[in-house]
Amino acid sequence: MSSSIPSSTSSSSAEPAVSVVIGSNAPRALDVCLAALEPQRDGAEVLVCEGEPSDDGLRSRFPWATFVASPGALVPELWRDGIERSKGRIVALTIAQMVPAEDWLENVVRTQQEHDAVGGAIDPGEGLRLVDWAEYFCRYSRDMRPFSASDDEELAGDNVAFKRDLLERHREHLKTGYWEPVLHPVLRRDGVVLWHTPELVVRQGRSAGFAAFARQRLEHGRRYGHQRGEHFSRARNLIGVIAAPLVPLLMTVRVLRRVWAKRRFRRQAVVALPLIFAFNAVWAYAEGRGHLDMLLRR
């Protein structure tokens, strides 16, 4: 059944109530994501910002979506591009691998009535392979239900929504992309509540595989080291380099603690443990390399 999202005015040229921005570097996953949005998209604008362009067949199947190609761009950069093109008074972000729940857009609008920034739950989808489980636990163990709604700076950009005027006020912090560790602390300092709720649900589908996620960890981890390191002293960046070998162990322990506390998917976490550790090692190496870059730059 199709649900209707109310537009901001009644005119035919009205701005949409919601702009959905999908950052996509996994075109093979897009069809499932868009199919889940189709019955609930009335009144919403859907922008697919692609670092790896999808084929013409998929674009023909979903003519109501606007496809924007930025070859080679990282997902945070694709989100930025979509935010800049968006027209809705609410901007909701996700990625191609996510499958929105059937009431996702409805809940985006409802939760935005009380909060300017809302992040939701990310649960595992169906038919996941071992590598998909490892990626899921590395990235989303803290967003797995159950959890209680709260103010939380670490909202995942893969399932988040903002009032567009809030993003416009902080445009300078989106120049290099929508990076959660850059924008969210700024919003928090400005008194914005970053609301984390289990009512706004997407599910992670199959990933693009081990190599693709490892490359992403390398790129994002190094950028994260740069983002933190530019505010650190030389001594603090040096500590970031020296401590890098300890980081995979700490990250993996944190994942297991969350999974055990939530009492879900424990068996999958144990089986995927070597891959979880490997992905965390890639991140730690990349973050340490980022701190080294900043150390050598000064």
- Name the pTM for this structure: 0.88
Q: Report the alpha-carbon distance of residue 46 to residue 35 in Å, rounded.
A: 12
CA–CA distance from 288 to each of 214, 225, 270 (Å)? 15, 7, 27
**pLDDT for 277:** 97
CA 86 to chain centre: 17
β-strand partners of 100: 202
Spell 14-33 as b/e; 16+ CB within 10 A means b.
eebbbbbbbbbbbbbbbebb
DSSP state of 113: T
Question: What are 229's two structure tokens?
Answer: 């390191």
Q: So what's the pLDDT on residue 5?
A: 55
DSSP state of 72: T
Looking at residue 223, its pLDDT comes to 84
Is the torsion defined by CA of 121, 126, 130, 135 positive or negative?
negative
Are the beta carbons of 230 and 294 closer than 8 angstroms? Answer: yes
Record the tokens describing residue 265, joined without a space.
């998917």
R_g (Cα) of the chain, nearest Å: 19
pLDDT of amino acid 12: 38
The distance of Cα 246 from the centroid of its chain, to the nearest Å, equals 26
Contact criterion met (CB below 8 Å) for 147 and 121:
yes
pLDDT of residue 42: 86
- Residue 161 sits at the vertex; the CA angle it makes with 109 and 193, to the nearest 5 degrees, is 100
pLDDT, residue 239, reads: 86
Tell me how far apart the alpha carbons of residues 149 and 268 are, in angstroms, rounded to a whole number: 26
User: Contact 181/227 with Cβ under 8 angstroms?
Assistant: yes
Query: In 3-state terms, what secondary structure has residue 12?
Result: coil
Name the nearest CA neighbour of 220 among 278, 271, 173, 181.
181
Amino acid at 65: A
CA distance 28 to 14: 33
pLDDT beneath 70, residues of the chain: 1-13, 298
What is the pLDDT, as a whole number, of residue 232? 82
User: How would you classify the pairing of strands 117-124 and 194-204?
Assistant: parallel
**Would you call the peptide bond into 146 cis, given omega within 30 degrees of 0 as the criterion?**
yes
Amino acid 221: pLDDT: 87
Instruction: State the pLDDT at residue 225.
Output: 85
